[in-house]
Amino acid sequence: MFLSGRQTEILDIAKSEGRVLVEDLAARFSVTPQTIRKDLNDLCDGHVLTRIHGGAIFPGGTENVKYEARRSIAASEKLAIGRATADLIPDKASLFINIGTTTEAVGEALVDHQELMVITNNINVASRLRLFPSIEVVIAGGVVRHSDGGIVGEAAVDFIRQFKVDYAVIGASAIDPDGALLDFDFREVKVAQAIMANARHVVLVADSTKFERTAPVRIGHLSQVHTFVTDDCNVESLRKVCAESGINLIETSEKALS
C-alpha cells in the first residue's frame, strides 16, 4: 500500500510504542482527529495496524510488541491492576508471578507485604523484590529470553512443578472473545500452564487492550482462573464466562467503578 509521509511516521510511532491514540496524534501533527482516524483506517485496511478504541496498535497476531514498548501501553491501567491484585494477597502467602509487564506491576505493589514467598520466572520481578528482606524470592532456572528477561523452557517447567503455592499471578498477551488465553512463545506458555496447575488460586491480570489483540499459542481458558483483574471488561462474552464460571471479576477503571 502507498503511505503518505504522516502515515509512515504514524506507523513508526506504533512500531516503537506499541500503540497510538487519535487525540495524541492529532496534537502531534496539528490536524483534526477526523484526519487521524482516516489515516488509521487506511493503515488498518492495509493490515499494518489493528484498530482499537481511540487509536490503533501494532503488530498482528504472530509478532509481539517489544517489551519496553509494552510497558508504556496502558501504563496507568497496569498500575491500578497491580495495586488491586496486591490487595488480594495476604501477608505470609506463597505465590507464583510469571513474565509480563502487568505482572511486574503486581510485583511492584507487593513491596510492603510481609513474609511473602515469591517464586518467579521473571528476572525483573526477582530483581525488584530481592531488595526487601520481608520477601523471600525464589527464581526458576532455565533459558533466559533476551527480549524481556523471562525464564522459559523445560527446566523452568520442571522447577515450577516442585511447588504448590497459595496464589498464582499470570498474564496473557491476548484474550479472545470466547475466553481463550493466548501468548506468542510456546515455551512461555508451558511455564504459565505449570504455574496454573500448581496454585490453589489463580489470578489473571490483563488490561483491556488485550481484548483487541490476538496471539498464536493457547495458554488455557478464562474459566480456569479464580479471579480476573482488569481495568474494564468491556467484552460481554467475557463477562458471561466470568459469571457462568464463578470467577471473581475485579475492574479498576473509574468508568467500571462508577
Block means of pLDDT (10 residues each) for the chain, length 258 residues?
Answer: 82 80 94 94 83 78 57 81 98 96 95 97 94 96 86 94 97 95 92 97 94 89 98 96 97 77
Residue 124's SS3 state is: helix
Residue 202 CB-density burial (10 A; 0-12 exposed, 13-18 middle, 19+ buried): buried
Partner residues linked to 253 by β-bridges: none
C-alpha closest to that of 110 among 63, 126, 123: 126
Closest CA to 48 of 36, 63, 35: 63
The reported pLDDT for the residue numbered 70 is 64
Closest listed residue to residue 121, CA positions, set 88, 87, 159? 159
Q: 74-257 — its CATH code?
A: 3.40.50.1360
Q: Rounded CA gap, 219 and 194, in Å?
A: 10
Q: Considering the entire predicted model, what is its pTM?
A: 0.77
Domain 5-58 belongs to what architecture?
Orthogonal Bundle (1.10)
Domain ranges for the chain, please list them. Answer: 5-58, 74-257
Q: What is the pLDDT of residue 62?
A: 45
